[in-house]
Structure 1
Amino acid sequence: MRITFNGAAGGEVTGSCHMLEACGKRILLDCGMVQGSREAEARNLEPFAFDPASIDALVLSHAHIDHIGRVPLLVKRGFTGPIFAQAATCDLLPIMLLDAASLAENAADFANRDRVAGTPEIQPLYTRDDVAAAQKLLRPLPYEIANEILPGVTLRLHDAGHILGSSILELRASESPPRTLIFSGDIGMKGTPILRDPTPAPAADLIVMESTYGDRNHKDRAATVAELGSIFEKARADGGNVVIPAFAVGRSQELLYWFAEHFDDWNLAGWKIFLDSPMAAKVMGVYDHHTELFDTDAAKVWAGRIKPFALPNLHVSASVEDSKAINAVTGGAIIIAGSGMANGGRVRHHIANNLAKPNAHVLFVGYQAAGTLGRLLVNGLTHVKLFGADIPVRAQIHTVGGLSAHADQQSLVEWYAASPNHPPVALVHGEDSARNAFSTLLHDRFGTTVTLPQSGMTHDI
């Protein structure tokens, strides 16, 4: 068994993509989009480090774009094998990828308006037709059932507790001797609303493990919820709007969950709450279709007086006109919109409309990758250029880390510690500062052999 790291390695967090070779077969683990600066995202157009046609199967950990965003491109460039993922991930995937394809097509159309005669026409990364072709290859699987996906290669999915359908991948090869690889995907925090807690790490010969927060711990969840309440209280006193960049899958639904649970004590009845994300609205339908994946607390909230997806003052923007109309609301609005790192999508318009207002608040509730607008604002950027305008940053910027869908350092340690044999680890999906800190911690506490893969590195198991 051998693994080659082709993405989310070398200190990068996005672009998850790893190729496993076992029993004479090649299995790709994730095929995500590189996110961040324009230079980083331009790499998505580059050729894959392998021939897509040579891949026998693709296995997806979950439906975030940095883990699935290049799947249609893989198919477009020659991959024809099956795509295995948890059933909810299979339902979420076309929602996410059709949105990405639409953005790519619109960006190409816009760029071609200014194309100089005689120069090649700019093509989108992929189209909605490419998404449809990829969708036909999906093979939904349940949790905790071993399936032989290729001769000699067995796959078992475990709940990762990160977003709906997120999975820890356990791949076992019947070689001599047999070998087992665990790919953590993204591990969630215990107690995350709606979702069940992550399944503890099984025994393995190697764990390929995320390390996004390998160098820090999140604020206590109860303290985080209290902080959210205080931000809304201050924003209400200031009379401005609250803009919340949030991913359409996971974070948007979690926020609505907290709004339902604290509707009265946060005085939310006095706000207009906007979910300006048609994609997030579609995702809510997938959540409703997979209530069997909810934890017991979520079942109680869904049975309560105020239901998360049916708040009495919730307005879901179904059209561009609905989105634009929000700009007329000068105060008393909570606006949840994508993307979560403010690097694209409708939220950029809401940020542009509110950023110069001292009584406005911009609330970041998740990880902000290097080079994104979100990271720049969190780091104290004083002026932003958006839609051709230079906008001073006068709004109050908040970062609430305790809502992260990623396990923090202590939770990652606890997840790994549960593995019966404390196997070697390859740390991916983390900046170098996080990887280095977590590597030292694993070595000092468990004597673990830790590899910090660079992109293109091959590791024999």
Structure 2
Amino acid sequence: MDIRVKFLGAAKTVTGSKYLLEIDQYKLLIDCGLFQGVKDLRLKNWEPFPVEPSLIDAVVLTHAHLDHSGYLPRLYKEGYQGPIYCTAATEDLLDVLLRDSAKLQEEEAAYAKKKGYSVHKDPKPLYDSKDVELVFPAIQSYEFRQPVKINEAITVTFYNAGHILGAAIVEVLVKGQHQTKKIIFSGDLGRYDDAILYDPEPVSEADILFIESTYGNRKNPLQEPVERLAEIINRTCERKGCLLIPAFAVGRTQAMLYYLKEVLDRQLIPEMNIFMDSPMAITATGLYRKHHIYHRLTDRDFREDESFMTLRKHLHIVRSAADSIALNEIRSNAIILSASGMMNGGRILHHLFHRLPRESDTLLLVGYQAEGTRGKRIMDGEKTVRVFGQPIPVACKVEFFEGLSAHADQDELVRWLEGFQSSPKRTFCVHGEEQCSEEFAALIRQKFSWNVDVPSFMERVDLFQGI
């Protein structure tokens, strides 16, 4: 039996996660993510898939974020007909994220056509809501540590990765005629001592390891978020402005609600209204109650509705588009959470349109900002960004709270690697910008003396022959 891997995404970049394992003639795709960020990467979503989709036998997902799952509807649209294996929480989140992804693409294509800022006369979405419906019947979901027999030779097991609800480290066990090999995909590893999610589960051995390197060259210590958040809010109130927080609907929104509850309970900020303006986040937040085994929260943390944390009178759920637009009239003493976290789509766009020019307002970035996104451009200090095709001045106060990222930093990645009792035969640093991956690979070589590679997009590597 021969085993090969082809890197179809998240190789020297932090997006488009896709790894094709070829186990003899069996083709197993680990993750099926969208390319996001810079235009050159986004255009890859429109290119013919590097492998005929109908020839792929199965897909395994580490988690539900779109850079790991968002290409699925397109894959089915192009002819894939096989199963999707994931955790139970990931299945529920896919129902939210993929529907929202299609809706946003449909709306963006329609708006581009209406305003005439697309290079295409009749712009189309990458996929639409009908394509998304092809995905759900194929999903087979399981709990952590439950072995899933894909075929006679391949067994997959999911282990807790932290990061977001249901995120998994994927173990692929391949039984050959002479040997059994263990291949580990870290997926996106979460943080240790997170307020909501459990620590990433340790792994003691692997023949082949694929390790993420989003923060592979950076230390990003967990700061004391409550005092820092209170300071930012109070300074905004002094300017008689509002605080706008772009947050991923799954993960960061729930974390921010948790910390906002803390600053209010400890009376560190004035009484004020908090608006959760993301339909996807509203639905995703309710899943924390359903999947209680995935996180540290207890029944005392929940209310009997989707407001999630006991924020009582302070939290307002914004459901309709009209109510979302009405928030732009609020001038002071309010906090608005809206998606998407990197500000490339969603309701956050009209908030940016109105609030970036306001000197009294604050924009608080609380998650990773990939190259080519509005979030990264604002974080890098650009004074003007385009929203709805128009240049918008960035006059508001911009704050960046790096310690709230959902990704393990360099020290935490090393801590997870220290759980291995023996060296993998080969390790691949993936899911990181090129410099991050290269520097992390060098650190692993220095600290562990492992055989480490940083693969390139479309590179194909022989892992085993004749096992």
TM-score class, shorter:
over 0.9
Q: Which residue of 2 aligns with 1:4?
A: 6
Question: Per-residue deviation at 1:129?
Answer: 1.4
Q: Which residue of 2 aligns with 1:86?
A: 87
After superposition, the Cα gap between the structure-2 partners of 1:434 and 1:68, relative to the gap in structure 1 and judged at 3 Å, is same
Structure 2: give runs of 5+ residues left out of the alignment. Answer: none
1:35-83 per-residue CA deviation (whole Å, 9 max, x = no partner) reads 1133432221111110111111100000101000100111111111110
After superposition, the Cα gap between the structure-2 partners of 1:151 and 1:164, relative to the gap in structure 1 and judged at 3 Å, is same
Q: Distance in 1 between matches of 2:214 and 2:81?
A: 32
Question: Per-residue deviation at 1:15?
Answer: 0.3
Question: Per-residue deviation at 1:301?
Answer: 5.5
Q: Which residue of 2 aligns with 1:192?
A: 194
After superposition, the Cα gap between the structure-2 partners of 1:454 and 1:266, relative to the gap in structure 1 and judged at 3 Å, is farther
Q: Distance in 2 between matches of 1:13 and 1:25?
A: 27
Q: Distance in 2 between matches of 1:300 and 1:398?
A: 33
Native 8 Å contact 1:23 1:173 kept in 2 = no
Q: Which residue of 1 aligns with 2:49?
A: 48
With 19-28 and 137-146 compared, the bigger mean Cα shift is at 19-28
1:215-243 per-residue CA deviation (whole Å, 9 max, x = no partner) reads 11113332x43222211121122210111
State the SS of the aligned residue for 1:438: helix
Q: Which residue of 1 aligns with 2:222?
A: 220
State the SS of the aligned residue for 2:150: strand
Aligned CA RMSD, in angstroms, stands at 2.0
Equivalence map 1:16-415=2 (5 Å) = 16-22=17-23, 24-113=25-114, 121-175=122-176, 176-222=178-224, 224-268=225-269, 270-295=271-296, 298-299=297-298, 302=301, 308=309, 310-415=311-416
Native 8 Å contact 2:301 2:309 kept in 1 = yes
After superposition, the Cα gap between the structure-2 partners of 1:347 and 1:304, relative to the gap in structure 1 and judged at 3 Å, is closer
After superposition, the Cα gap between the structure-2 partners of 1:309 and 1:156, relative to the gap in structure 1 and judged at 3 Å, is farther
1:234-266 per-residue CA deviation (whole Å, 9 max, x = no partner) reads 112221011111000100011111122332335
Question: Per-residue deviation at 1:364?
Answer: 0.2
Question: Per-residue deviation at 1:419?
Answer: 1.3
Count of residue correspondences: 455
Q: Distance in 1 between matches of 2:212 and 2:111?
A: 36
Question: Per-residue deviation at 1:392?
Answer: 2.3
Native 8 Å contact 1:3 1:20 kept in 2 = yes
Q: Which residue of 1 aligns with 2:443?
A: 441
State the SS of the aligned residue for 1:35: coil
Q: Distance in 2 between matches of 1:300 and 1:285?
A: 13
Q: Distance in 1 between matches of 2:186 and 2:265?
A: 38
Native 8 Å contact 1:363 1:400 kept in 2 = yes
- The residue type equivalent to 2:298 in the other structure is A
1:177-228 per-residue CA deviation (whole Å, 9 max, x = no partner) reads 2111100110000112221111012311111110000011113332x43222
Native 8 Å contact 2:264 2:271 kept in 1 = no
Q: Distance in 1 between matches of 2:157 and 2:136?
A: 21
Q: Distance in 2 between matches of 1:377 and 1:133?
A: 37
After superposition, the Cα gap between the structure-2 partners of 1:276 and 1:114, relative to the gap in structure 1 and judged at 3 Å, is closer
- The residue type equivalent to 1:449 in the other structure is N
Structure 1: give runs of 5+ residues left out of the alignment. Answer: none
After superposition, the Cα gap between the structure-2 partners of 1:23 and 1:148, relative to the gap in structure 1 and judged at 3 Å, is farther
Q: Distance in 1 between matches of 2:303 and 2:80?
A: 46
Q: Distance in 2 between matches of 1:82 and 1:374?
A: 35
- The residue type equivalent to 1:47 in the other structure is P
Percent sequence identity over matched residues?
38
